[in-house]
Structures are given as structure tokens and as C-alpha cells.
Amino acid sequence: MTTAPEHVVVVGASLAGLRAVEAARRAGFEGRITLIGDEPHLPYDRPPLSKDFLDGVEGVGDPMLTSEQNLAELGVTVRLGAAAERLDVAGRTVTVGGEKISYDALLLATGSVPRALPGVEDIAGVHMLRGLDDARGLRSAFDDASRVVVVGAGFIGSEIASAARKRGREVTVIEALPTPLVRAVGSASAGAALSALHERNGTTLLCGTGVDGLETVDGHVTAVRLADGRRIPADAVVVGIGVTPATGWLADSGLEIDDGIVVDEHLRAAPGVWAAGDVARWMSPDFASLMRLEHWTNAAEMGAHAMTNILDESASKPYRHIPYFWSDWYGHRIQFAGIPIGEPVVVTGSWDSDEFAALYREGDRFMGVLTLNRRADIMKYRALIGRGGSWAEAIEFAASRRQPTSASA
Ligand SMILES: Cc1cc2nc3c(=O)[nH]c(=O)nc-3n(C[C@H](O)[C@H](O)[C@H](O)COP(=O)(O)OP(=O)(O)OC[C@H]3O[C@@H](n4cnc5c(N)ncnc54)[C@H](O)[C@@H]3O)c2cc1C
């Protein structure tokens, strides 16, 4: 057993960072922990921000992950509203608000930041959604807006569209690609099946066209002009065109930055430095490739795992994780586990219904599953992928569930 660090610094006071801190104390670590976050808020949960919180349902408060009292009980020094500005890997210091903080071990959990639509920064009525303040602003914008345009038909954009519909707004979603979500779910049929939920729930989806510009009156957006010449009137525009890892401040740190902080199987980026959550691109032992995920479950598990490795490097274990995410649109639960590879086969329900399961394979190996409204199945499929289950086993499991269709083996 190697000596445990005396002072662990965690940069990023959100899901991965908090789960890491909790894991340290659970493991009996008695040393100092400093948690640094650039937002003014205590750690809160992001998924509700595009769901219940935005729906405007009475009584939905801020989705906090912890409280001041919990953090005090964990014995953590918390510095909020303070961005880490510089990292000196050799000197083991991180600079925050001009002050150098020394560490024995550092966990980077800075997450990701939304991509902006160029040229619209100063226009009133244009929103993005990543944090609590964004969600508060958007929720009150929905109070006044009758026509909402969402740019980007990814998962977050689609959830925002769904929330706006729930509040009775007229909603149009603009997507540059011919079919939404093809990268996330691996196939045009799967992407089309999910995005059909928009039309079925009264949202207009316009695909294969980009945004040419916004029209304004007195600095406030009034319409979105599309590349194909159409003009969509709008009182509020929400840009949901994806995120990039929050690594800007690390540019001169010497860490390998390539679509995230590149870490090894043990989540180590450099001597004394680990990374976890949306920002980390790790060598996955399960899929033998570098992976970076923007999923809640990964951030939570990876943060805790990184901390366990930090506290005892000699007992460090590779981070094994089968990707999993969910998304809620119009009262429907979409879930995905594994990786989307090849053309999925629908084994339960059908693409055009409100309930299906579709499986992905690579040769004889079962690789992934996409479900709509099949909550009871998904974790069993995920466990099978984790065990290196075969295609035949996946088909057998599907057949044991309700409503099987004729699956091709
Ligand atoms: C609106 C929304 C809905 C979502 N819904 C789902 C869902 O339904 N299902 C799902 O699986 N996933 C969902 N996600 C994704 C999930 O929330 C993220 O994967 C998760 O929050 C990642 O956690 P993290 O701790 O790695 O990063 P983050 O939550 O992004 O936190 C990183 C923190 O670090 C801070 N930070 C950044 N740079 C610095 C710096 N230099 N110094 C100090 N602090 C810094 C950031 O401000 C932030 O507070 C959703 C995300 C959003 C935004």
C-alpha cells in the first residue's frame, strides 16, 4: 500500500466532484479535501433542469445534490464562485483567484460547456441550458413566450422542446442533419423513431437545414431565419447544439488534451493528477478504446472510482463502465446502454410505437440496447453487456419479455 495523500484537491463542484469527495470519506480518508467550483451554487443535479424543473410544475425546487451541513459533516473546504485558472503539474499547485493551492493529489472534474451559436450572444431571448441559472432564466422566459424555437434536436434540445410543449407553447425544433441523433443511437432508423415523438406530441421538427441568422426588434429575438430561406417566428430561442469538455484553462498544463483530458484505464492523467466525469476521456477496458461520455451515471461512478484509486495507488483498479443514459420526452422514458454499433434490430414492440427495445451487435457479441418505455429491461440488458454476453443470450432474454416480435438472429 502506498501512502495516502494528505491533501486532495477536487476541481469541479458538481456530480463527479461531489461523488469523489463522498467516496473519500466513505473509504475512511481523514486527510484534507478542498472542493473548488466556479459556480456560486452548492453542487446540484443537472438532469432535472431540462425536465421537471423546466416544466414549471408547482413545487419543484432547486435540484440540490447536497447541503452546506452535509459538506461540513464531510469535512470539506469548499471554495465556490472561484475558477481554477492554472495547473502546475510538476509543482503540484493549482491557481485559484490568483492564489496557488498545493495538493498531493488532484482530481479534475470540470465537466463540459455548451457550444454557442456564433453571433447571437448579445441578443435577448436567446438561451442555452447547462446550469441552474440558465434553467431559472429559461423557465421564466417560457412564462412569457408563446413561440419557442429550439436549435438542435439532440437529447437536451428535445427535452427542452418537450418541457415547452407541456407548458402549452408552440414549439419548432431545427436540426441541421437530415435525421437527428444518428451519432448518439448509431442509426437513422433509431434516430427517426425517437424524433417521431416530436411530431406525435405537437412539436414541429425541421431537419436538414441550418440557422442562417436571427431577426430582432429592439435587441430581442423575433424570428429565426433558416438557411433554406424559411422564417420561423420566435419569442424565445434555445440553442442546444452539444457541449465541449471544459479544458480551456489546462491548455498550457502539459496534460494531454484531445476531446477531453486523456487518462489511462486508472483515470490518471499525470503523476498526482486524475480526471473524471464529462471532461475525462479514458481508455475503456471493456471496449478497448478511448471513450468520453456525457452521462450522469458515468460521472457519478467515475468520480467515486477515481477517488478510490487516488487514495491507494498501489491497489488502483481500471475503471470498468458500461455506458448508460436516459432521457425523458413527452412523458416517455428513452434509455440506452452499451455502445451503438451496426444497425439495431427491434426485438420488442416496433419503431413506430410508444414502446420498443432494439439491440446492437458486433459479430456474435451483444453490444448495446436502446429502449423506449421499457424501464424494467434496461439494467438487465446492461448487465449482460457487462458480462460480455452473446447475441444469442440477448435474443433469448428479449424473447422472455413481454410482446416479443420476430427478431432476426
Ligand atoms: C440540462 C441537462 C440535462 C441532462 N440530462 C441528463 C439525463 O437525462 N441523463 C443523463 O445520463 N445525463 C444527463 N445530463 C448529463 C449529466 O448531467 C452530466 O453528464 C453530468 O452533470 C456530468 O457531471 P460532471 O461532474 O462531470 O460535470 P458537470 O456537471 O458539468 O460539472 C462540472 C463543474 O465544474 C465547474 N468548472 C468548470 N471549469 C471549472 C474551473 N476551471 N474551475 C472550477 N470549476 C470549474 C463547472 O462550472 C461545473 O459546476 C444532463 C445535462 C444537462 C446539462
Establish whether residue 185 lines the binding site of ligand 1, counting it when its CB lies within 6 angstroms of any ligand atom.
Answer: no
Given the CA of residue 43, which atom of ligand 1 is nearest to it? 49
Mean pLDDT (whole number) for 386-398: 97
Residue type at 272 in one-letter notation: G
Domain boundaries, the chain: 7-113+244-315, 116-241, 331-400
Best mutation site among 136, 255, 296 for ligand 1, i.e. most ligand atoms within 8 A of its Cβ? 296
Q: Residue written as cell 456564433?
A: 118
The stretches of 361-407 forming alpha helices (DSSP H) are: 378-386, 391-400
Of 96 and 402, the structure prediction assigns the larger pLDDT to 96
What's the pLDDT tens digit per position in 287-296?
Answer: 999 999 999 9
- CATH architecture, domain 116-241: 3-Layer(bba) Sandwich (3.50)
Which residue minimizes the CA distance to atom 16 of ligand 1? Answer: 296
Quote the pLDDT of residue 34. Answer: 98
Q: Which CATH class is domain 331-400?
A: alpha beta
The phi and psi torsions of 46 (rounded to 5 degrees) equal: -85, -40
CA–CA separation, 121 vs 294, rounded Å?
A: 24
Given the CA of residue 135, which atom of ligand 1 is nearest to it? 1
Among residues of the chain, what percentage have pLDDT more than 90? 95
Which residue minimizes the CA distance to atom 27 of ligand 1? Answer: 111
Q: Do domains 7-113+244-315 and 116-241 have the same CATH topology?
A: yes
Cell numbers linked to 230: 424559411
What's the pLDDT tens digit per position in 33-89?
Answer: 999 999 999 999 999 999 999 987 777 899 999 999 999 999 999 999 999 999 999
pLDDT bin (cut points 50, 70, 90) of residue 401 is: confident
Q: Which CATH class is domain 7-113+244-315?
A: alpha beta
Residue type at 365 in one-letter notation: R
Quote the pLDDT of residue 404. Answer: 47
